[in-house]
Amino acid sequence: MRLYFAFGANMDLVGMSRRCPAAEPVGAARLDNHRFAIVRPGFATVIEAPGATVHGVLWRLSSRDINVLDAYENISSGLYGRAEKPVRHGMRTLRALTYFVWEPKPARPKPGYLEDCVLPAARRWKLPQDYIRALEAFVVSPGARTPWSETRPV
């Protein structure tokens, strides 16, 4: 079993139980020196950023679960990659697998991605309120003309 740090859709218990039925939630965790970003094609990634923190959920996965997530994250296309990163869970620092976009290009989130999946999961896991507010800032109203940039805070 390996640890996996989720910061987007895979924080959702229902979605993860469908994709990876054997996955075991460990609890809330954080990835320091990275920031959350929405990139093309409208989903989340983490980008190295000294002093920033991404909050998420730590899971324990089987090798079969990892293969499923590799397919779900479309690793074979070359858009996403994965790496082991140090994450904090409580007072411990652990190594956990995480997925990221190789060449992040800023984008708007897919409709419903944050509102229906990421934000409810962040609230369910009781991630810090200031972090949840920062995630809420990524939500774009239909028809809104919001400039998107890589410097968006989180």
Asked, for residue 154, whether it belongs to a domain, the answer is: no
Asked, for residue 106, whether it belongs to a domain, the answer is: yes
Asked, for residue 70, whether it belongs to a domain, the answer is: yes
65-107: pLDDT as tens digits = 999 999 999 899 988 999 999 999 999 999 999 999 998 898 8
Domains in the chain: how many in total? Answer: 1
Task: Please give the C-alpha separations between residue 40 and each of 25, 28, 44, 107, 136, in angstroms, as whole numbers.
Answer: 28, 26, 9, 5, 18
107-122: pLDDT as tens digits = 889 999 999 999 999 9
Asked, for residue 50, whether it belongs to a domain, the answer is: yes
- Domain assignment of residue 85, given as a range: 2-136
pTM of the complete model: 0.90
The CATH number for 110's domain is 3.10.490.10
Asked, for residue 150, whether it belongs to a domain, the answer is: no
Asked, for residue 146, whether it belongs to a domain, the answer is: no
